[in-house]
Amino acid sequence: MALPITCGKIYGKIQSFSFANIDRFSTASLITRITTDVTNVQNAYQMCLRMIVRAPMLLLVSILMTAWIDGSISLIFVGVAVVLGIVVAIAMVKVAAPFRTMFRKYDDLNLVVQENLTAIRVVKSFVREAREIDKMHQATGEVYRYSVNAEKILTFLTPCATFAMFVSNILILLVGSNMAVGNLPGNVTAADLQTLVIYSMQILTGVLSVAMCINFISMSKGSIERICEVLTEKPTITAPADPITSVRDGSVDFCHASFAYSARSSDPVLRQPKVLIFDDSTSAVDTRTDAQIRQALRKYAPDTTKIIIAQRVASVQDADRIILLDKGRVTDVGSHEELLRTSEIYRNLYESQMSGKEEG
């Protein structure tokens, strides 16, 4: 995981994603990864930059000086370090799952916020504020619950380190004093004993600093994994080596193309485009308005290629070419007059719609 982590690089990577890539992560999750996760990694990096070098050096030098005074007493510190290492390893394993779940809950929280901001008018129109507030409370409650579970484990490290080092101080005083008076073999004097206690406090400071760094590293580990997932994701659609950057005219060629109908509609932005696609855009208007829209398109966009997806025959009968779909398959292609002569499905559809219009 030696990838350089910057917001700009992640944002640039996201810009290369296709809709399939974005759906795999979700918009809310990508927002969390580029904000909360990056902040966690930055905090861990800054903390470790200040302490991860100084604290281990302080710890190592203090242990070496203790060994220089008396090798047997230095074994006390080695034993304490081994015990603390085991405790830290267990803690890091236990907090991994809660932190991963907590970040997923952050995604859910961002999703709730995104939905509220996007549909705020609908929420107010239908007086659904209370329900949305409950959703927000549930989302924040989940983040809080998993965050507390992980932090409980991490905060256990500091008292463990303090307890272990004070136990080592007691053992140093006990063993060192017996060495000083001759009850145990060794060359420790009263002055050495005072020096050992000072070194013990230095070691305690180093251990606490390392424990604090481990806290930040444990929190950022899940964030690093989530960020690396984004950076290593391969876009399902890649840009060609020689892309087309401009459209010369409104001609459209279908080459090895497939089509699946969707009822999703979108409002085209009229900026004098070469091609306009209407995805069932006139289904919600009456036939008179539909005719006015088609008349306006002929008048104000005569040179624009228009692709109209519709269920109403009147919406497409003026088209140069009509493609008729039945159960997702192309059955007939032609103009309105040609299809009336050659396609039974099109003719029946036209007659049923026209008879309904006459009855109305």
What domains are there in the chain, each with its CATH number? 7-232 (1.20.1560.10), 275-359 (3.40.50.300)
Q: What is the mean pLDDT of residues 247-251?
A: 73
Using 50, 70 and 90 to split pLDDT, how confident is the model at 2? Answer: very low
Q: Residue 130 belongs to what H/E stretch?
A: helix 129-155
Pairing of β 322-326 and β 305-309: unpaired
Residue 259 is predicted with a pLDDT of 62
d(CA 287, CA 298): 17
Q: What is the mean pLDDT of residues 287-316?
A: 86
Q: What is the mean pLDDT of residues 65-80?
A: 80
pLDDT of residue 234 exceeding 60: yes
**DSSP per position, 165-211:** HHHHHHHHHHHHHHHHTTSSSS---HHHHHHHHHHHHHHHHHHHHHH
